[in-house]
Amino acid sequence: MALSGIQIYKLLPQTNCKDCGFPTCLAFAMKLAAKQAELSACPHVSDEAQTQLAASARPPVRLVTLKANGNEVKAGNETVLFRHEKTFYHKPGLFARVRDDASDIGTTIAAADAYAVNYVGMDLTLDGFAVESTVDAAAFEAAIGAVRSASQRPLILISRDPAVMEAGLKALDGEAPLIYGADADNWQAMAGLAKQYGAALAVIADSLDGLAELAEQIAKTGVENLVLHPATESLSKGLALCTQIRRLALKKNFQPLGYPILAFPGHEDAGIESVRATQAITKYAGFIVLDHYAPEYVYPLLVLRENIYTDPQKPIQVQPGVYEINDPKPESPVMVTTNFSITYFSVANEVEGSGLPAWLLVTDAEGMSVLTAWAAGKFDAERIAKSVKQFELPDKVSKKVIVLPGHVAVLSGELEEELPDWEVRVGPREAVDIPSFMKQAL
């Protein structure tokens, strides 16, 4: 049973020595209660207290980190079932799978490794690769070598044969890969390998009962970094099992299932695979192995992952102000938008893409999109006029043409009153139509 912050505080030394990195023992206790700190950060805690706190100090979903050559992928440490309750913390790692009988592995991996797509100012990439054995130990080792020559990202190694797995692990040096995996028949040998090579271990079972039992058996051997692979052959079964695992971990602090989940949405039909991967991203997967990773599949998945794992308490905003696009002159038009970052990037990209110079006035709408901000009273004529003055646009422009987003055409009359010496124009509703509007109408 989880302890409250006060209960935990009573078990701590209460010296406020700050060695844990927090200002007081009480502050540290509160962080422990919120599962946002580890007890090991306190060097002075008594053995007795340690035993009592062990159960409550362990995060309900263990943080598992895969490492390779300076790159890391983390999953776990989640604290909520729904992102609005707090946030989801660790974006599920996306891994592209290759089989060891594939031809030209190096080229395939090099292309996938180099893939990076820009989304609202961020470069999004895959996190690593999964190498699957289908032939023998020698082929597996060779395939891993080929992958390593093309990418330094973390790996998932796939084979149920401990001898093959060991050959694969030997091909990696000083890494912490995920090995897949341990089932009812091979778990002792696989657990031995995980310990020997410092790998995380995937646990495979058809039922939740079987999964919990196997995970607990393996944990007793001292392997701490486990990842669960429940049977997810249909979307409804996968959804039920992943939800149950998350609930058991968070609500019951049920440690045998307190680990990140591994999902294999792979399907011969890439479109179906995307649908399955969508469920994995929205509903609790920690690591996701993809079989199709052409850009038209990877790009939307990377964006979805970014969206779902955005902290709801911190809307992604840009700084309000005047942004100069394509080297504007005094006679260039002023385009208005809000400081919600998706809105800003959509508009800025289109204005830039038009090749025409403009001043982009980004108003402080508390990080809301145009329509949402307008509905909430955060984007109106008064605020826009205030921004025009605050950011000294009258000193920058001579032509004084200001363009409103089409969705708030209704504001044009009021804005004309607020800015009597400006010409107020109404632009398109959608950013995508900005270039043609600028070419034709401005």
Binding site for another protein (CB under 8 A): 82-84, 115-119, 208-209, 212-213, 216, 234-237, 239-240, 243-244, 247-248, 251-252, 254, 256-257, 270-272, 274-275, 278-279, 282-283, 294-301, 303-304, 307-308, 310, 312, 340, 342, 346, 349-350, 353, 369, 371-372, 375-376, 430-433
Cite the beta strand spans of 11-104 per DSSP E.
Answer: 64-68, 71-75, 93-99
Burial of 399 (0-12, 13-18, 19+ CB in 10 A): middle
- Closest among 217, 86, 71 to 151, alpha carbons compared: 71
**CB-wise, 265 or 333, nearer to another protein?**
265
**CB-wise, 129 or 379, nearer to another protein?**
379
Q: What stretch of H or E contains 128? A: strand 128-132
Residue 374 CB, nearest approach to another protein (Å): 9
Instruction: Determine the 3-state secondary structure of 277 from DSSP.
Output: helix
Q: What stretch of H or E contains 203? A: strand 200-205
Judge whether 179 and 189 are in contact, CB under 8 Å: no
Residue 339 CB, nearest approach to another protein (Å): 14
Residue 306 CB, nearest approach to another protein (Å): 8
Measured distance CA(22)–CA(6) in Å, rounded? 16
Residue 38 CB, nearest approach to another protein (Å): 26
**CB-wise, 204 or 208, nearer to another protein?**
208
Judge whether 300 and 274 are in contact, CB under 8 Å: yes
Residue 343 CB, nearest approach to another protein (Å): 9
**CB-wise, 142 or 235, nearer to another protein?**
235
**CB-wise, 65 or 310, nearer to another protein?**
310
**CB-wise, 115 or 422, nearer to another protein?**
115
**CB-wise, 45 or 263, nearer to another protein?**
263
Residue 107 CB, nearest approach to another protein (Å): 17
Residue 280 CB, nearest approach to another protein (Å): 11
Q: How many CA atoms lie within 13 A of 428 on its CB side?
A: 17
Measured distance CA(158)–CA(371) in Å, rounded? 48
Residue 272 CB, nearest approach to another protein (Å): 7
Residues 6 or more apart whose CB falls under 8 angstroms from that of 402 comprise: 333, 334, 335, 336, 361, 384, 388, 415, 419, 422, 423, 424, 425
**CB-wise, 269 or 421, nearer to another protein?**
269
Measured distance CA(54)–CA(40) in Å, rounded? 10
